[in-house]
Structure 1
Amino acid sequence: MRHAPLKLPEVRWLDSARLTAGLDRHPHLDLAAHTRVHSPLPDPDRDALLGLAEALDLCGRGGAGFPFARKAQAVLATADRTGTPLVVVVNGAEGEPASAKDKTLLGRTPHLVLDGACLAAAAFGAEEIVIGVAAGSPGEIAVPAALAERQLPCPARTVCLPERFISGESGALIRGINGLPVVPAPLKARAADGGPGGVRRRPTLLANAESWAQLAVAARLGPDAYAALGTASEPGTVLLTVNRPVAEPLVVEVPTGTPLGPVLDACGLQPGAGVLVGGYHGAWLRPWDAVDAPLSRAGLADLGGTLGAGAIVALPDDTCPLGETARIAAWLATESAGQCGPCRRGLPEAAEAMGVLAAGAAEPAVLEDARRALGAAQGGGACSHPDGTARFLLTALEVFSEDLDAHLSGAGCGRPVRGVLPLPPAKGARLEVDWSRCTGHGLCAVLAPDLMRLGPHGYPASNSVPVAPWQEHGARRAVGQCPALALRLHRRG
């Protein structure tokens, strides 16, 4: 079957190619190429597959790192208790702009991901396999084509979801599969207790694309051969997306525990001013810590970091760290679902404070406002978005403390904002102030308090504010009722 050219990153590996096997020779592994590259897939029963996952302590690779065996046991317990067949869900709705590993797997080697999902579906008696992909991503074409090529243990379908940061959250994904708005559920619930299925909600075994591919590799190799790479507590390999400032990102497979320094060297990068590990819900590391940082959950946790989505960005010395961080803070605030206090107020307030700090000559109180808003956002959200965003921003304030001092004491660090931290093309809406008309009535801050804050003289503190979908009603009210007609709502994309 002929496929359209796939716009996906180059793939590399250190030590050994497992998930990336064959991608040096093939831009895309159809079923014929897949069977030439990978050995035949075994057929383990329920106990054997659970035993394999337990023996390796195989954990999810989507960010949370939850043990696969414990998750599967919980799903099976619900299925046994209720007599309801389970559903296997592949989470390929990767909304992290700095990560491309799941898109690469689903776009270039989809059969390896489907191998893992089919293993579980057959062993655990699943009623259906559902693969969630981002709309417009390579997986939207490659996954249905792969499903059509192979025999399946049960019916399978692909669901396309909007490419938003929160679309990959498990609750949002399940809501999207059920035809509901793709936002995290207002109340947290375990997928094991019920997921897709409309009225008849089915126990759901959900894992991200890399997790299913890892299960397929482990089943082929067996526990001993699989554990020949990696650390004793975290065997195997991990996929990373290494972002480069003047080139396309690289997807790199490395044994877990590999120091970050050699990975950066292999990609032609230096630690620069600091290194972000884990993507926009990850943490910043100081350059001297980053070089020796082991790429494992435990190793990064010892440094206050997290492996997260496996996305890595080394920030060059010639861009403004606070300006880069403020760009992402504003974007993350608009990517929330706006369903809880931390997302409705905490993240927008923190993003605005970061923007003021990046502009230079800010009052020390602005820094305290940012820390207060981020502290309040932690632990109180309906999903992990506020916590992850807070970790990203708070570690930036620590790692870039010298740069922060320069912005507090004067006009700033003097470096431009080069836009090194990747963001998707601008879209959505912005609320903009026409200063030639604004007379400082302050009504906008009353009508849209989530968007507009007033400065010390009663005028809006910002002249251009990104508007999330859940904020548009307030923005339209502010535009319609501004006495000076000084507000405009502009849409992009």
Structure 2
Amino acid sequence: MSARTAVLPPVACFGEPRLTAGFDEFGSLDLAAHEEVHGPLEPLTINTLLRLAEEIRLTGRGGAGFPFARKLKAVLESARRQQLPPVVVVNATEGEPASRKDKALLTRAPHLILDGAALVAYALDADEIVIGVADDGVGEEPLAAALREREMPVETGIVTVPHRFISGEGGALVRGINGEAHIPPGVKKRASDSGVSGLPTLLSNAETFAQLALAARVGPAGYASVGTEKEPGTVLLTIGGAAGQPAVVECPTGTPLADVLQLCDAPAGPGVLVGGYHGKWITPEAAAEAEVSRAGLAKVGGTLGAGIILPLGPNTCPLGEVAQVVRYLAGESAGQCGPCRLGLPELARAADLVVTGATDADTVRNAAGVVKGRGACSHPDGTGRFATSAMEVFAADVVAHAKRDGCGRKVVGQLGLPAAAQEIKRRLAVDWSRCDGHGLCAHVVPEFIRLDGNGFPSFPPTPVPGWLERGAQKAVRMCPALALSLSDE
């Protein structure tokens, strides 16, 4: 089985398909099928493109939801001010393990993405288009095949990046394209001022470009014929978690979330994660009330984010699932600023302690509060949002773990983490007959080991996360009393 077949779920649609048009008939659309389904596309001037983006209220579909017209204006003004040619970057990396929507477009409708990129490059008089994809073997070959079938208005290349959560961050992608490490820059920078090769750069998500290509064909009125008034059109969602029939779903904005979950045989269970790993948890009651849109999900305390919807089933431990993802996110950080290097491991430690019943939800909230607004990118804030919303939705489970030695359910891994992230099997142990409370271990690996009120090492009775194993090994070697050991479960 190819990586492409193994990774991609089925695709479903509410109403008339747009982005997913032709999927049922052709499966994957080559150039001839694409033109048969979507029709011709004429270039647009920059003023026409700006009006179009504004009239359809197009926002980025990668998570932040930034207005696309504002990005266009910023790049245009920067290019004119600096008298430099801009670059167009398509972010199709989709580093979040639970997400599949961009991969569905890359493998089944790559020409729709290329159409959008070509429109923008022509309108901006750009010098180059760069498309970033993950090195997971899913999107690069279909995209390259599509490029071989057509002519683009400017030189267009594909850059592969490591399939990591943090690699999809905009600044990390620009650095990777520039030949640097695939991590966010240490300071916040605007790609519109200085991005690829130091040039003004328009960077947006793959679905955003595909939506633009659709809108250019049908016009503002046609585009707004479905969806809500303030958020017209359709969105792509990745439905996973405990869904009996996981799928990438295209639906008009305003569609009841409950209908989408029902389509995918996905009961709301104890809670639903909306927006992905940087999103928020909502209750089953909120999920029954919510509509699929940024405003509709915000109304019930959620967020649309990158369109990832992960309901939990009744047969897993919600807090254990949450702690597993927080550990993963801490390990995926760039580790170059304090909030990521120290704050996220502390947040992961707090989540682990809540699972063991050793502390309450305030420990998680406090740890998330320390990193809030302090990172060089949005990773600490997003991780904190994920963890703290879980403390609200699963409040009863927090009490059960504190008073009744757990909820009685195992962690079955429903949130789409890669298998390697779940295989943490090394545990740190203390031989108390040897430990003299020197405290050296807490200095060697402060992210995992703390000293209690008597100066003795204290750490959660959970496996040592992979990103801290090297530090734990060093602590074992340096322990003067030979009291520490690291062993397999």
Superposition TM-score tier, normalisation by shorter sequence: over 0.9
For 1:141-175, what per-residue CA distance to the aligned partner results, in whole angstroms no more than 9, with x for missing partners? Answer: 11111111110101011111011111111001101
Matching residue of 1:212: 209
CA distance in 2, matches of 1:481, 1:65: 48
Matching residue of 1:255: 252
Matching residue of 2:229: 232
Matching residue of 2:371: 377
Q: 1:478 to 1:17 in 2, by over 3 A?
A: same
CA contact (8 A) 2:448 2:459 kept: no
Matches within 5 A, 1:6-405: 6-7=5-6, 8-197=8-197, 201-245=198-242, 249-360=246-357, 362-364=358-360, 367-405=361-399
Q: 1:66 to 1:243 in 2, by over 3 A?
A: same
CA contact (8 A) 2:3 2:138 kept: no
CA distance in 1, matches of 2:262, 2:225: 24
CA contact (8 A) 2:59 2:208 kept: yes
CA distance in 2, matches of 1:141, 1:452: 45
Q: 1:167 to 1:385 in 2, by over 3 A?
A: same
CA distance in 2, matches of 1:434, 1:363: 20
Kindly indicate whether residue 418 of structure 2 is the aligned counterpart of residue 424 of structure 1: yes
Matched letter for residue 11 of structure 1: V
CA distance in 2, matches of 1:473, 1:76: 47
After superposition, the CA RMSD in angstroms is 2.2
For 1:323-368, what per-residue CA distance to the aligned partner results, in whole angstroms no more than 9, with x for missing partners? Answer: 11111111111111112222122221121121121123x244xx33
For 1:459-478, what per-residue CA distance to the aligned partner results, in whole angstroms no more than 9, with x for missing partners? Answer: 5434522133xx67645533
SS in 2 for 1:381: coil
Matching residue of 2:407: 413
CA distance in 1, matches of 2:472, 2:110: 42
CA distance in 2, matches of 1:282, 1:4: 27
How much does 1:485 deviate?
7.6
How much does 1:33 deviate?
1.7
How much does 1:248 deviate?
6.2
Matching residue of 1:433: 428
Q: 1:137 to 1:479 in 2, by over 3 A?
A: farther
CA distance in 2, matches of 1:246, 1:211: 26
SS in 2 for 1:446: helix
How much does 1:448 deviate?
1.6
For 1:350-402, what per-residue CA distance to the aligned partner results, in whole angstroms no more than 9, with x for missing partners? Answer: 21121121123x244xx332211111121111111111111111111101111
How much does 1:39 deviate?
1.0
Q: 1:140 to 1:486 in 2, by over 3 A?
A: farther
CA distance in 2, matches of 1:113, 1:345: 39
Matches within 5 A, 1:404-483: 404-426=398-420, 432-433=427-428, 439-440=434-435, 442-454=439-451, 458-462=457-461, 464-468=463-467, 474-475=471-472, 477-483=474-480
How much does 1:112 deviate?
0.6
CA distance in 2, matches of 1:10, 1:230: 23
CA contact (8 A) 1:161 1:182 kept: yes
Q: 1:243 to 1:409 in 2, by over 3 A?
A: same
Matched letter for residue 157 of structure 2: R
How much does 1:299 deviate?
1.7
Matched letter for residue 65 of structure 1: G
CA contact (8 A) 2:272 2:311 kept: yes
Moved more, 475-484 or 206-215: 475-484
How much does 1:261 deviate?
0.6
CA distance in 1, matches of 2:365, 2:406: 19
CA distance in 2, matches of 1:438, 1:6: 55
CA distance in 1, matches of 2:229, 2:243: 37
> Gaps (5+ residues) in structure 2?
none
Q: 1:458 to 1:472 in 2, by over 3 A?
A: closer
Matched letter for residue 229 of structure 1: V
SS in 1 for 2:334: coil
CA contact (8 A) 2:243 2:265 kept: no
CA distance in 1, matches of 2:91, 2:260: 26
CA distance in 1, matches of 2:407, 2:294: 33
CA distance in 1, matches of 2:126, 2:319: 48
Matched letter for residue 5 of structure 2: L
CA distance in 1, matches of 2:281, 2:220: 34
How much does 1:444 deviate?
2.3
Q: 1:473 to 1:357 in 2, by over 3 A?
A: closer
Moved more, 432-441 or 298-307: 432-441
CA distance in 1, matches of 2:77, 2:382: 31
Matched letter for residue 128 of structure 1: E
CA distance in 2, matches of 1:89, 1:487: 48
* Count of matched residue positions in the alignment of Structure 1 and Structure 2: 480
Matched letter for residue 186 of structure 2: P
CA distance in 2, matches of 1:196, 1:430: 41
For 1:232-270, what per-residue CA distance to the aligned partner results, in whole angstroms no more than 9, with x for missing partners? Answer: 111000000000437563000000121101111111121
CA distance in 1, matches of 2:129, 2:426: 42
How much does 1:106 deviate?
1.0
How much does 1:36 deviate?
1.7
SS in 2 for 1:24: helix
Q: 1:66 to 1:233 in 2, by over 3 A?
A: same
Q: When the two structures are superposed, what TM-score results if normalisation uses the length of structure 2?
A: 0.93
How much does 1:102 deviate?
0.8
SS in 2 for 1:6: helix
